[in-house]
Amino acid sequence: MASQHAYPLGYTPEEANRLQVQAELLGEVFEDALRRAGLREGMRVLDLGCGVGDVSFLAARLVGPSGAILGVDQSEPSLIAAKTRATHSEVTNVSFKTAKLETYDPDETFDAIIGRFVLLYLPDPAGVLKRLRSCLRPGGIVVMQELDMSVASQYPASDLFTEVNRWIFSAFEAGGAEKDMGRKLLSTFLAAGLPWPELGSVTPLTSGENSAYYAMLTEMVRSMLPLIERTGLTTRAGTGLETLTRRLRDDAVANKRALFPPRIVSAWSSVI
């Protein structure tokens, strides 16, 4: 959630809640990548674009009380929320710092640099990783996870789902984000001077009336509504926001549609 551009989804309390729901849905995918990359107890970890802290808290559990996490983000409201959550959950091995990743210059070293859904918002993601790798200790790891949004689909496809996707994807592009950062992770790692990374990908699949993704799509539209309206994609009235989740769900169930959310791509490498 760090960029010289405005974060396309904004910093509202509703967006903070959406991020926490997203973390619950996708947490296992990133945890698997962290474990495969070698994140373990006792490590000191730098979490890039930590937002409201979900990845930081996940990593804090993996490194245990002998490890430590520093989450960095440009949004002060997000970090206030992260600190509040840490206090309420009694998580003591995390701390947070306000900084822009484009200019952040750590004065300490780390065993790992991690980030989820953050490089897509950076104008020069390879440059940021290249600069920050200097704060890694020998043998340190870099683990990043990004999305390929363009592959998101529904089968059989509905006009409503197609239109909602158009609003979201066009708004991301209008906000300066790279909506298909996942497929660029390999080239980004290599351009940053990192060793050739290990790669993995997961394409979620969901269907039925109990799927959480209908509400997730609605909340993304809600968070991006100012940008959607500003770029002339549609209006609040045009989104039918108050009934959007129900309409997406009812249509998908009635017509036996399966939903394939964006592909999740992970990359990790170890610095010699």
Residue 209 structure tokens? 């009336």
> Contact, 253 vs 156, CB < 8 A?
no
Phi, psi angles (nearest 5°) of residue 63: -85, -15
List of the chain residues with pLDDT < 50: 1-5
pLDDT digits (tens, 9 = 90+) for 180-196: 999 999 999 999 999 99
Domain annotation for the chain: domains and CATH numbers: 13-270 (3.40.50.150)
Taking the model in full, what pTM does it have? 0.93
210 Cβ contact partners less than 8 Å away, ≥ 6 residues apart: none
pLDDT at position 17: 86
pLDDT at position 2: 37
For the chain, the average pLDDT equals: 94
pLDDT at position 3: 38
**Where do the H-state alpha helices sit in 54-158?**
54-63, 76-89, 125-132
pLDDT at position 60: 98
Phi, psi angles (nearest 5°) of residue 171: -70, -40
pLDDT at position 184: 98
Q: Is residue 155 helix, strand or coil?
A: strand
Amino acid letter for position 230: R
40, with CB counted inside 10 A (0-12, 13-18, 19+), is middle
